[in-house]
Amino acid sequence: MGLFDKLFGKKEELNPNHIYAPMAGEAVAITEVPDPTFAEGTMGNGIAIKPTDGKVCAPFNGTVDMMFETGHAVSLISESGIELLIHVGLETVGLNGAPFQVKVANGQKVKKGDVLMIADLEAIKAAGLPTITPVLVCNSFDYAGFQGNTGKAVTNADVVIELTK
């Protein structure tokens, strides 16, 4: 990116088959999630984030399909048709929304990096629940290839899932 692009805000070109980290933290294999519904791929292939920050950001340009009423999870559909579920923590639905600040609504268009919700990770931990966050491609069967980029620290600038048609 050149100086003028930085100064005048040239748009970032996003690969339509890439999913960026929705949270800062460590990207890990989905099999590290201590819940068989996620770990065994029942809801789709994915990765998980061990978050260091509770800010959940859009991992691509798309639309909010469903922001769960309790704020613990959000499903998104990318402009290219990727159906993604971000589920903050495990069993967090039982917290009835207390540790979550929802920033978007159903049907809202979002751009990569837009804040979707903010989770109070300390409140989740204080409730005795894990904060590990599954990031699942619910229509992963529509793609010939799936590569999770795990085993490293990530932010919203890092691609954590690469799909191929």
122, 27 contact by CB (below 8 A):
no
CA 14, 164, 87, 154 torsion: positive or negative? negative
Cα-based distances in Å from 147 to 44, 70, 78, 122 = 13, 30, 17, 31
> In the predicted model, is pLDDT for residue 61 greater than 90?
yes
87 is an active site residue: yes
AA letter at 155:
T
96-109: per-residue pLDDT in tens? Answer: 999 999 999 999 99
From the list 140, 125, 145, 131, the residue with the least C-alpha distance to 85 is 140
The single residue of 87, 90, 110, 133 carrying the catalytic annotation is 87
Residue ranges of domains in the chain, CATH in brackets: 27-164 (2.70.70.10)
pLDDT confidence of residue 13: 84
Q: What does the pLDDT look like over 29-42, one tens digit per residue?
A: 999 999 999 999 88
Encoded tokens for 46? 């994915």
